[in-house]
Amino acid sequence: MSAYNFGKMTGILTGVVIGLVVLAVIFVICNKNRKLKTEYDERQQILRGNGYRFGFYAMTVWAGIQILLAAMDIELPLQPVTQAFSCIFVGVLADVLYCIFHDAYWGLNNNRKRYMIAFLIIAALNFAIAFGAYKSGNLIVDGKLGAVGTNLLCAILFLLTGVALIIQQIREKSPEKE
């Protein structure tokens, strides 16, 4: 392994570890009881299981479409890293939207306001990175969405999540209609 590749790998792994630590800190700050784990009640756990199922189906369908397109020599305007990330994007989005619209997204110990602020910050940071790459001409590489496209997809994911949460909150405005 060359020194360059070693350095690159070390950098990526360090980034992943830092990312996980930051994520853990966000969870602890945003949960009311300062716990890392979000707690759900029994109904939510069942629905979240359905959400994971739909997420898996969506991811599989999207991966299948990509295989078909590749077999037909049709290239998506995505670089390999971004294309792989798009599978995660599709799966997570399907899961999250299902959970939100079935009242199984927010856990019992979640502080919704803090989470929404965290989502907004994460979306803004990712948009800023993508915008910076666009300005420097690194967002599109050889006519395809480059690796920084993952930041763009991440920002879109958090933005869509936020919008879905706001829509669901509006739908919930009159809780005891019956």
Partner 1 sequence: MKNLKLKAARAAMDLSQEELAKRCNVSRQTINAIEKGDYNPTINLCIAICRQLHKTLDELFWEEEQ
Q: Which residues bind partner 1 (CB under 8 A)?
A: 41-44, 103, 106, 108, 172, 175-176, 178
Closest to 96 in 3D by CA, of 39, 162, 37: 162
Closest to partner 1 by CB, 137 or 175: 175
- Specify which residues 141 forms β-bridges with: 144
CB of 55 to partner 1, least distance (A): 21
CB of 164 to partner 1, least distance (A): 15
Closest to partner 1 by CB, 48 or 59: 48
What is the C-alpha to C-alpha distance for residues 133 and 148, in angstroms, rounded to an integer? 7
Closest to partner 1 by CB, 90 or 95: 95
CB of 42 to partner 1, least distance (A): 6
Sign of the Cα torsion 137, 142, 144, 148 reads negative
CB of 176 to partner 1, least distance (A): 6
Closest to partner 1 by CB, 108 or 124: 108
CB of 121 to partner 1, least distance (A): 26
What is the length of the chain? 178
Closest to partner 1 by CB, 104 or 133: 104
What is the C-alpha to C-alpha distance for residues 72 and 90, in angstroms, rounded to an integer? 22
Contact 130, 148 (CB under 8 A): yes
What is the H or E stretch that residue 169 is in?
Answer: helix 149-171
